[in-house]
Amino acid sequence: MTLMGDVNTFINGDYTTVEKAYLHIEDRGMLFGDGIYEFARCYVDGIPFQMEEHLQRLKNSAKAIDLELPYTGPEIKDIVGELLEKCGAKQAGIYIQATRGLNMPRTHHFPRVVKPSFFIIVRELEPEPPEFMVDGVKAILLPDQRWTRCDIKSLNLLPNILAKEKAVREGAYEAIFYRDFGVTEGSSSSVFAVFDGRIYTTPAGEWILPGVTSHTVVQLASRAGYSVHFEFIPREKLYKADELFITSSRLDIVPVSTLYDTPIGSGKPGPLTRALKEAFQAFARGQA
């Protein structure tokens, strides 16, 4: 019998435990990475933060790959609410995934009759390591070898995974991607640099995922009177930044204090990054 606290997964219409949930081996998500995903979180009291924005990005990704989601936005919100109530998670991570579904026999083109697969997993998140805001984190720079539709939050993350693993092996937290025209984003984050009190980040387009958190950071920075510029930053210029930070839905704002072994600015989290971190946390808890 499943205990109340064990139920943290919804898959294709059923509430269950993550251990009992499964997809068929010939699901197109498994065979081709033919699917999309989204991640949101709760800061306090099991209340999803910016769920509307995350669901809109999920919808945009689905449209971009011609995938019809099996549930509407309100239905997904109801499912998430039910899962949060069943598992009792308060500061939770919410993972949502949809694939094109079962494909027998295996074909590269879309099956003519297919039912999409859909699941959500809710788990309690571990708190951010306190040393992140004390010392900052280390990052490395890598060529961006991903495809040119990074605006789609697809399941095809192998280049990101390889970059993240290389970063970990070099004692770093993140790998920041660059192309000939400049920095794009991190392997699992958006990138911001500060020069002379002005904030710079990558312009929207197919080279980056439109970050829900990064969008909020831009809004908060503008409200606080900071000027925000959307430009491709040459990778060599990153070393000369006064401050450098990354953003993601999982950890909101994380200061980058070193690139490889080169200190950024003072080599510690800078005042602008700290101010934005405080503003974001206050905003997130206020929204909840």
Q: Which residues are catalytic?
A: 153
Cα–Cα distance list, 102 to 29, 37, 157 (Å): 9, 17, 21
Q: Which residues contact 89 (CB under 8 A, 6 or more apart)?
A: 8, 42, 46, 122, 123, 124
The helix (H) or strand (E) run that includes residue 263 is strand 262-263
Q: In the numeric block, which tokens belong to residue 7?
A: 């139920």
Rg (CA), the chain: 20
**Within its chain, how far is the Cα of 158 from the centroid?**
15
**Alpha-carbon torsion 280, 164, 124, 119, what sign?**
positive
Structure letter (DSSP) for residue 125: P
Query: Which stretches within the chain are classed as H helix?
Result: 28-32, 51-64, 73-87, 131-135, 158-169, 212-223, 235-238, 271-287
Report how far residue 256's alpha carbon sits from residue 184's, in angstroms, rounded to the nearest whole number: 16
- Are the beta carbons of 258 and 16 closer than 8 angstroms? no
**Residue 271: alpha-carbon gap to chain centroid:** 25
